[in-house]
Amino acid sequence: MIEYKRLDETKAFPKLAALPVPKLGELLTAERIAACDIPSGGGLTYNWAATPVDAAVLACLGELAEEQGLLEKYKLLAEGEVMNTGEGRMVLHHLARGRLGKAVLRDDRDLRAFYEGEREKAAGFARDVHSGKIVSSTGEPFTTVVQIGIGGSDLGPRALYLALERWAIAEGRAMMGACFISNVDPDDGEDLLSKIDLGTSLFVLVSKSGVTQETLANECLVRDRLEAAGLEPAKHMVAVTSETSPLAGNESFLESFYIDDFIGGRYSSSSAVGGVILSLAFGPDAFAEFLAGAHEADRLAQEKDISHNAALLDAMIGLYERNVLGMGGTAVLPYSEALSRFPAHLQQLDMESNGKRVDREGVPVGYSTGPVVFGEPGTNGQHSFFQLLHQGTDPVPLQFIGFLDGQTGGDIEVEGSTSRAKLNANLAAQIVAFARGKKDEDKNKEFPGGRPSTLIRGARLDPRALGALLAHYENKVMFQGFAWNVNSFDQEGVQLGKLLAKKVLAGAKGDPALAAYAAMLGLPAAE
């Protein structure tokens, strides 16, 4: 029988906290760097040499992972246990990309087959759009796909699209351009709609519940503008939703693709939420490669030995840095312009999953859970917030990502080195600079060092590598949630704001403070 207990109820945690903290600057040798290398799927490798983890800490992290049953819980989750306890739901995003154990059935339906069927439907639809079998209401081929969604229906798919856009062009696999409308700020949608050719644009409306306020407002905006342009909205829009939503089986859509309540928004990129737009943009094969990479990483996350399980180790090192060393935040630093919005996706994935103050039983935890996650691509970040990371008062753990080759193939040699060499030289340099620091008589020029980082690297950012990268972080977040004993799969923290916003729109009656802010922001009070 698997046990659910808080971090501070384990035997391993106080033991971990009592271990001497290794001096990172002294640990970092070439031998260690070579030894701390673990495959993380999709051709990627995870390196944890630049963390303050020695053999004793590693062993204790392994004990803690075992005591908290992280792998068993992962297995239960993958096989359909109700892991989203508050909402009474299974957590099945892994099934969208393969099976990790026995089949998961719901009312006799095999859910892997359901997700796979929707993927195949999206693949067929994309092929028909690409071949010209499906055309716009003017009879023209669709050239642009526009996703309408917010949160998990926007951040993941957007980050993934941007991550592969240059790769697809270079490989001759770019089928359609993609854009996104997410914010309820009407300037977002208005601006985009004024810049694209509506007649050749296909809109993908994504809302699992079918009642997301922002998304439905933007749907109306789009339909209105399509009509104003003399087009037939129903021939320019598909839906991605659940079978029980008001949007399901609706004739105002050209086609509908389904997910269900067992795939949470922030974990939904490998379902139809990401699959429809990515299959249209890059072709169904690219999306299948992406899923294969993600599944590889999922399988590697089942590895029992923590020193060979990249996602598990990454999770436990992060926990050690946060709960034992007291470090705040996590910076995600891809040395790849293509990953410019990947940190924003991880920000949602991590902060919405583990930004929780009560455990699975609703008891407040007495320790820090999920960190603030932020980041920008390098080398840009070096010229921005890296100052604080190097010399600020509060150390922040760093997660570097890098690739040996670029996506476009273009480059130039200046002063004896290519731009790619400069990019990766800076990446190597930063890892060492953060870990080792530098003494200086002028204390303003001194670097304390001892600032930990990890590195995920690959040959080139392609769909398979991207899938593995995404899954690595999903699994890391899940393992941390298990270790903290929080529910990483609900988001009750978004409800109060929704309620109060409705109250404002209804006039904020009986709530003078709310009415005061509403009035300041130009909203009418109730009569």
Note whether 425 binds a copy of itself by CB under 8 A. yes
Shortest distance, position 123 Cβ to a copy of itself, whole Å: 27
Shortest spacing between CB 111 and a copy of itself, in angstroms: 25
- Of the candidates 146, 178, 291, 433, which one interacts with a copy of itself according to CB under 8 A? 433
* Known catalytic residue at 498: yes
| Least Å from the CB of residue 417 to a copy of itself | 5
Options 1, 131, 414, 527; binder of a copy of itself; rule CB under 8 A: 414
Residue 465, number of CB atoms within 10 A of its CB: 27
User: Which of these is catalytic: 23, 133, 383, 502?
Assistant: 383
Window 95-114: contact mask with a copy of itself (x via CB under 8 A): --------------------
Query: Is residue 525 a contact residue for a copy of itself (CB under 8 A)?
Result: no
Catalytic site includes residue 121: no
Instruction: For residue 206, give the H/E element and its range.
Output: strand 201-206
Q: In the complex with a copy of itself, which residue's Cβ is closer, 134 or 204? A: 204
Q: Which is nearer to a copy of itself, 127 or 460 (CB)?
A: 460
For this structure, is 352 an active site residue?
yes
Q: Say whether residue 265 binds a copy of itself (CB under 8 A).
A: yes
Q: How many CA atoms lie within 13 A of 393 on its CB side?
A: 0
User: Could you say whether residue 8 binds a copy of itself (CB under 8 A)?
Assistant: no
Select 182 or 270, whichever has its Cβ closest to a copy of itself.
182
43-82 residues near a copy of itself, rule: CB under 8 A = 47
Q: Is residue 495 involved in binding a copy of itself (CB under 8 A)?
A: yes
Edge-to-edge order in the sheet of strand 177-181: 177-181, 144-148, 201-206, 237-242, 256-259
* Cα distance between the two ends of the chain: 59
Catalytic pick from 23, 102, 304, 498?
498
CB of 234 to a copy of itself, least distance (A): 18
Token pair for 484:
């903290």
Q: Taking the CA atoms of 98, 104, 105 and 106 in sequence, report the sign of the dihedral they define.
A: negative
Name which position in 22, 89, 299, 385 contacts a copy of itself (CB under 8 A).
385
33 lies in the binding site for a copy of itself (CB under 8 A):
yes
Bridge partners of residue 438, in order along the sequence: 447
* Interface of this chain with a copy of itself, residues 267 to 306, rule: CB under 8 A: none
The residues, ordered by sequence, that sit 6+ positions from 169 with a Cβ below 8 Å of its Cβ are: 408
Among 216, 229, 234, 292, binds a copy of itself (CB under 8 A): 216
Nearer to a copy of itself by Cβ, of 95 and 245: the residue is: 245
Q: Is residue 109 within a helix (H) or strand (E), and if so which, with residue range?
A: strand 109-110
Q: How far is CA 418 from CA 164, 409, 429, in A?
A: 22, 12, 16
Minimal distance, residue 54 CB to a copy of itself, in Å: 16
Residue 394 sits in the site that holds a copy of itself (CB under 8 A): yes
Which residue of 97, 119, 236, 457 would you call a contact of a copy of itself, by CB under 8 A? Answer: 457
The Cα–Cα gap between 415 and 519 comes to 59
Residue type, 324: V
For residues 32 and 34, what is the distance between their CA atoms, to the nearest angstrom?
5
Residue with tokens 């530098």: 438
Rule CB under 8 A: choose which of 310, 317, 431, 477 binds a copy of itself. Answer: 431
Question: 315-354: which residues touch a copy of itself (CB under 8 A)?
Answer: 328-329, 335-338, 344, 347-348, 351-352, 354
Which of 138, 200, 242, 380 is the binder for a copy of itself (CB under 8 A)?
380
Distances from the Cα of 94 to the Cα of 51, 78, 461, 467, angstroms: 29, 7, 21, 12
Contact between 373 and a copy of itself by CB under 8 A: the answer reads yes
Give Cβ neighbours of residue 235 (< 8 Å, ≥ 6 apart): 136, 137, 254
Shortest distance, position 193 Cβ to a copy of itself, whole Å: 8
x-marked contacts with a copy of itself along 152-191 as a string, rule CB under 8 A: x-xx---------xx--x------------xxxxxxxxxx
Among residues 130, 70, 67, 73, the alpha carbon closest in space to that of 101 is found at 73
Given 352, 356, 376, 472, the catalytic residue: 352
In order, the DSSP letters of 221-287 are: HHHHHHHHTT--GGGSEEEEEETTSTTTT-TTSS-EEEE-TTS-GGG-TTSHHHHHHHHHHH-HHHH
Question: Given candidates 59, 217, 229, 292, which one binds a copy of itself under the rule CB under 8 A?
Answer: 217
Pick the stretch among 6-14, 27-35, 71-79, 197-205 that binds a copy of itself (CB under 8 A): 27-35
CB of 341 to a copy of itself, least distance (A): 10
Q: Which two tokens stand for residue 471?
A: 């899954």
Strand partners, 178: 145
User: For a copy of itself, which is the closer residue by CB, 113 or 516?
Assistant: 516
Give the CA distances from residue 151 to residues 155, 183, 494, in Å, rounded to whole numbers and listed in that order.
6, 9, 11
Stretch of 62-70, 88-96, 235-243, 369-377 lying at the interface with a copy of itself (CB under 8 A) = 369-377
Q: In what order do the strands lie in the sheet with 398-403?
A: 37-41, 44-47, 453-458, 398-403, 330-334, 373-374
85 cis-preceded (ω within 30 degrees of 0): no
Figure out which of the listed residues 370, 397, 450, 467 binds a copy of itself, where binding follows CB under 8 A: 370
| Residue numbers annotated as active site | 352, 383, 498
